[in-house]
Amino acid sequence: MHSQKAILITYPDNDSINEALSLSESADYSIIDIVKQKHLTKSKFGIGSGKACEVKEIVLKNHVKNIIFDEVLKPSQQYNLTKLCNVHVIDRERLILEIFEKRATNAESHIQIKLAQLKYDMVRTKEKVRLAKLREQPGFFGLGKYDADISLLDLRTRITHLQRKLKKEELRKKMYRKSRSKSGFPIVSFVGYTSAGKTTLFNRLTGETKNTGGGMFTTLSTFTRNVNLRDGKILLSDTVGFISKLPAYMIDAFKSTLLELTYSDLILLVIDINQSISEIKKKLRSSMVVMNELLIPMTKVIYLLNKVDLTTIEDAYEKFHNLKIADSQINVLPVSALTGYNLEKLKSLINDIVFPNQYSLLIQKQHNRENKTGIKL
Ligand SMILES: Nc1nc2c(ncn2[C@@H]2O[C@H](COP(=O)(O)OP(=O)(O)O)[C@@H](O)[C@H]2O)c(=O)[nH]1
Ligand SMILES: [Mg+2]
């Protein structure tokens, strides 16, 4: 699939930029210019009028059809910016919904995501009804009061219908899980915050397998691939990832995209270790809350301290110890998706955990080598 060109409007700090870039990429947009602004909640366009005109110039110069706006826009702001620049304006929530939609892998997540989309539309339709009633903007979006009321009613009916469907689907879910775990191959899934480096690691691990010879590599979907390890084949799976400032009405949809984790044999929890300890703590804590709710045992986790090329191994371990994860059997490995550092060791560790017969022999070996490898088993 071809990615579409887009201009990104986001906040000036690096975390915001990186997250917005990763989200845009996940939704298949290639960002050709970034407009950084301290304030994205101004009344008319979200950004100031002068800046909005600059954005229009960038759009014209680059023949771009999309603007990604890293904040939630009101319908009137979205309308104003669309009209000024004559392109699609995708606000932050819309972008996240587009990502979820691409990732829906089962019936439940399709319904959950559709529900979240309807709720997104509902908020906007309500705003239109309000504006139409105030007669502030007659014919706003071509919508009279009557039309707006009708579409609100229609949205409500569709939401009720989906909620009923969801109930039925929940009953079916248990059976689905059973059948998945019978597929035979161990399932290994990446989780972690957006821009931690999951997709880069995923590509790196599956890409390397691809280069080692024909027939070893199969694309099951864009996000799950078959990888050959020393003692057998695994299914490696990339996930949506945790997103900061996720609105409450999207949480169920988000969790449904993570259902695959519940039948994973091993979780690779990716941490961007080149961040402040407080940032890492905050992100890890909220990841753990979601994983607990999904009943994923933390014993099935390897912590990957990624982007270690940007710092030192010592710093990575120091930060990790600072997280005080209370678990007697922690698997932790500093890695770099960029340089490939420790990725062979990672494959070997995955292999030894998911193919346990060979693993028991290995524990003995690892005990002898523990200090040299840095892997704590
Ligand atoms: N320096 C460095 N950058 C990395 C590393 N891994 C990923 N990145 C960069 O971090 C950004 C986010 O990576 P991505 O794989 O999209 O993160 P995801 O949202 O977790 O899938 C991209 O710009 C990557 O190039 C790494 O090991 N070192
Ligand atoms: Mg990703």
pLDDT for position 373? 47
According to the model, what pLDDT value does residue 128 have?
77
Nearest ligand 1 atom to the CA of 203 is: 15
| CB-based contacts of 65, cutoff 8 Å, min separation 6 | 4, 5, 6, 87, 88
Of all protein residues, whose CA lies closest to atom 1 belonging to ligand 1?
Answer: 307
Q: Which mutation among 16, 24, 195 tests ligand 1's pocket best, with the greatest number of atoms within 8 A of CB?
A: 195
**Does pLDDT of 320 surpass 90?**
yes
Does residue 222 or residue 90 have the better pLDDT?
90
Judge whether residue 109 has pLDDT over 50: yes
The residue whose CA is least distant from atom 2 of ligand 1 is 307
Q: Which residues does residue 237 pair with via DSSP β-bridges, in sequence order? A: 189, 224
Percentage with pLDDT > 70 across the chain: 82
Residue ID of nearest Cα to ligand 1 atom 26: 307
pLDDT of residue 356: 81
Residues 34-73: tens digit of each pLDDT: 999 999 999 899 999 999 999 999 999 999 999 999 999 9
Name residues contacting ligand 1 (CB within 6 A): 18, 22, 25, 192, 194-200, 241, 306-307, 309-310, 336-338
C-alpha of 288 from chain center: 15
Q: How far is CA 152 from CA 126, 144, 146, 158, 223, in A?
A: 7, 12, 10, 10, 36
Find the ligand nearest to 191 CA. 1
The rounded Å distance from CA 80 to ligand 2 centre is 31
- Of 128-132, 253-257, 299-303, the one with minimum mean pLDDT is 128-132
pLDDT at 143: 57
Question: Which ligand 1 atom is the nearest neighbour of the CA of 194?
Answer: 19
- Distances from the Cα of 173 to the Cα of 89, 102, 258, angstroms: 36, 20, 13
Which pLDDT score, from 0 to 100, does residue 94 have? 96
Atom of ligand 1 nearest to the CA of 19: 19
Q: How far is the CA of 196 from the centre of ligand 1 (A)?
A: 6
Residue with CA closest to ligand 1 atom 12? 195
State the distance from the centre of ligand 1 to the C-alpha of 151, rounded, in angstroms.
Answer: 42
The ligand minimizing its distance to the Cα of 102 is 2
250 near 23, Cβ under 8 Å? no
pLDDT: which is higher, 356 or 216 = 356
- What is the 18 CA–ligand 2 centroid distance (Å)? 11
Over 60: is that where the pLDDT of 177 sits? Answer: no
Q: Residue whose CA is closest, atom 24 of ligand 1?
A: 197
Q: Identify the nearest ligand to the CA of 99 by its number.
A: 2
Ligand index nearest the alpha carbon of residue 269? 1
> What pLDDT is attached to residue 75?
86
Model confidence band, residue 274 (pLDDT cutoffs 50, 70, 90): very high
Please give the residue that has the higher pLDDT: either 251 or 306: 306
Question: Which ligand is the nearest neighbour of the Cα of 192?
Answer: 1
Instruction: Please report which confidence band the pLDDT of residue 134 belongs to, taking 50, 70 and 90 as the band edges.
Output: confident
What percentage of the chain reaches a pLDDT higher than 90?
A: 54
Q: How far is the CA of 196 from the centre of ligand 2 (A)?
A: 8
377 vs 189: which has the higher pLDDT: 189
Residues 164-174 have a mean pLDDT of 73
Q: What's the confidence (pLDDT) of residue 137?
A: 55
Q: What is the mean pLDDT of the chain?
A: 84
Give me the amino acid identity at 46.
G
> pLDDT tens for residues 186-210?
999 999 999 999 999 999 999 844 3
Stretch 233-242: mean pLDDT: 90
Instruction: Give mean pLDDT, residues 211-235.
Output: 68
Burial of 58 (0-12, 13-18, 19+ CB in 10 A): middle
Distance, CA 154 to ligand 2 centroid (Å)?
35
d(CA 120, CA 94): 8
How high is the pLDDT of residue 363? 59
Q: What is the pLDDT of residue 217?
A: 42
- pLDDT for 273 beyond 70: yes
User: Which residue did the predictor score with more confidence, 174 or 377?
Assistant: 174
Q: Which of these, 226, 247, 243, lies nearest to 235 by C-alpha position? A: 226
pLDDT over 70 (residue 215) = no
Nearest alpha carbon, ligand 1 atom 28: 307
From atom 14 of ligand 1, which residue's Cα is the shortest distance away?
Answer: 197
Confidence tier at 166 by pLDDT (50, 70, 90):
confident
**Cα of 95 to ligand 1 centre, how many Å?**
19
Please tell me the distance between residue 188's alpha carbon and the centre of ligand 2 in angstroms: 15
pLDDT in tens, 118-132: 999 998 888 877 777
- Separation of CA 89 and ligand 1 centre (Å): 26
Lowest mean pLDDT among 76-80, 274-278, 372-376: 372-376
